[in-house]
Amino acid sequence: MIIISDGEFEEESTIMVTANLLKRRGVKIISCLIAEQNIFVGFAKKPMTKWPMGARLMVEIASKASETDSETLLAKIKQGAKNLPDKKLCIQINHSRILKDVIGWIFESHTIPRAE
């Protein structure tokens, strides 16, 4: 599941509950933060208290990145960082190129089950 947001949700109290239920059912959540300022580059390990509440929430709802996820996604979006398996699948997208690369990575490397 891809969530593209500034993290300012109307029903903030239920977001974490819903995200955790989805993750327990095997759904991988990739959160793409849209913000006016640069907050972080690459994947975030954990939210910082100085970040806006929306940015912190987007990191919290994201799934943990596996080694494969972090290697292939970071390569896809051309970040020069090392693999980051202890990070979350949350990335700040300030440019349309980054969003295109993230979505391309998802559809190239993951099988989407077909409804029958």
Q: What is the dihedral of CA 49, 51, 54, 58, to 10 degrees?
A: -80
pTM score of the predicted model? 0.69
Q: Shortest CA distance to 97 belongs to which of 77, 74, 71?
A: 77
DSSP reduced 3-state for 102 = helix
Write the secondary structure of 53-90 as one string of H (helix), E (strand) and C (coil): HHHHHHHHHCCECCHHHHHHHHHHCCCCCCCCCCCECE
107: alpha, beta or left? (left if phi > 0; alpha if psi -120 to 50): alpha
Confidence class for position 109, pLDDT limits 50, 70, 90: low
Give the pLDDT score at 49.
92
pLDDT tens figures, 48-62: 999 999 999 999 999
Contact of 94 with 34, CB cutoff 8 Å: yes
DSSP state for residue 2 in the 8-state scheme: E
pLDDT tens figures, 29-87: 988 888 878 887 777 788 899 999 999 999 999 988 775 565 666 565 554 444 445 67
Structural tokens at position 73: 């996604």
